[in-house]
Amino acid sequence: METIATNKSHGGTQGVYTHHSEETGTEMTFSVFVPPHETGAKLPVLWYLSGLTCTHENVTEKGEYRQACAEHGIIFVAPDTSPRGSDVPDAEDEFDFGKGAGFYLDASEEPWTKNYRMRSYIEDELPALIAEHFPADMDRQSIMGHSMGGLGALTIGLRNADRFRSVSAFSPIVAPVQAPWGEKAFSRYLGDNRDSWAEYDAVALIEGGARVDHMLVDQGTADDFFAEQLKTGLLALACKKAGIDAAIRMQEGYDHSYYFISTFMAEHVKWHAERLG
């Protein structure tokens, strides 16, 4: 692991790091905020997964999470959204597919299968690196995300409910198999067998029996993607039928941007902190 930069913030350290990923076969960059803490202390970990076109930089620069993480003693980890590099397949004229649009899945179709392994990277490889290099208590983890990253947070949380104590999201794509973004990405990354798509769809996972103990979702009413791509109501209905303790809140007048995310970020961090202990 190589340190790209570190800056002191709110008494802690905001760092940006890079390493070679065995899963993606590329160099991967991520950011980590470590709050002030006593020597030898182990701190809970909050993962943040970003949305389409984003890297670790978006939330690191605009997310306004550091004060809340310092107050509650939480490590904040922000990975990239896809593999990067000149040898990585891409769809250069498509913002919703290829680089910047990894959808937190392991691709099974060529030419994507070699590099597009973001599920294994987030679930297995990067956590091992965090455990090795940071004062992380890996028995206390939670996960959150935005848009495509909200999809990732919900599905990874549902598939690994024994690992994550709580899951939250801003404007998540909750049912990608029923949305244009998801249908486009899944058909090309995963092939035509729609049965294999279900493990990357929060609504389908819940309908199939997956459960989490605590879920928080904020969705802006002025979000241009709400009706066609995000379909938040389907998640609310699925959670109600499954008896999942989910707070799904419509925030009046907010859009899809980081102005929205930063407004409620500290509240999400506090909510996770209460469940991380």
How far is 14 from 232, CA to CA, in rounded Å? 33
Going across the sheet that includes 12-20, the strands are: 2-9, 12-20, 27-34, 75-78, 43-49, 136-146, 164-170, 215-220, 246-251
Mean pLDDT across the stretch 71-97? 96
What is the tens place of the pLDDT at every residue in 44-81?
A: 999 999 999 999 999 999 999 999 999 999 999 999 99
For residue 32, what are the contacts with CB-CB under 8 A and spacing of at least 6? 14, 15, 17, 75, 76, 77, 78, 130, 134
- Residue 31's pLDDT band, with cuts at 50, 70 and 90, is very high
* Percent of the chain predicted with pLDDT > 70: 100
From the candidates 80, 82, 223, 268, which is the catalytic residue?
223
152, pLDDT greater than 90: yes
- The whole-number pLDDT of residue 131 equals 98
92, pLDDT greater than 90: no
Please state the separation of Cα 119 from the chain's center in Å: 10
pTM: 0.97
Please state the separation of Cα 132 from the chain's center in Å: 21
How far is 82 from 25, CA to CA, in rounded Å? 11
Residue with tokens 């029923």: 178
From the candidates 147, 166, 168, 171, which is the catalytic residue?
147
How far is 118 from 113, CA to CA, in rounded Å? 10
From the candidates 146, 214, 256, 272, which is the catalytic residue?
256
> Is position 256 annotated as part of the catalytic site?
yes
What is the tens place of the pLDDT at every residue in 230-273?
A: 999 999 999 999 999 899 999 999 999 999 999 999 999 999 99
Residue with tokens 């947070």: 153
Mean pLDDT across the stretch 201-208? 98
How far is 165 from 241, CA to CA, in rounded Å? 21
- The whole-number pLDDT of residue 259 equals 98
161, pLDDT greater than 90: yes
CATH of domain 2-276: 3.40.50.1820
For residue 261, what are the contacts with CB-CB under 8 A and spacing of at least 6? 59, 62, 63, 146, 170
- The whole-number pLDDT of residue 203 equals 98
Task: Spell out the domain ranges in the chain.
Answer: 2-276
How far is 169 from 216, CA to CA, in rounded Å? 6
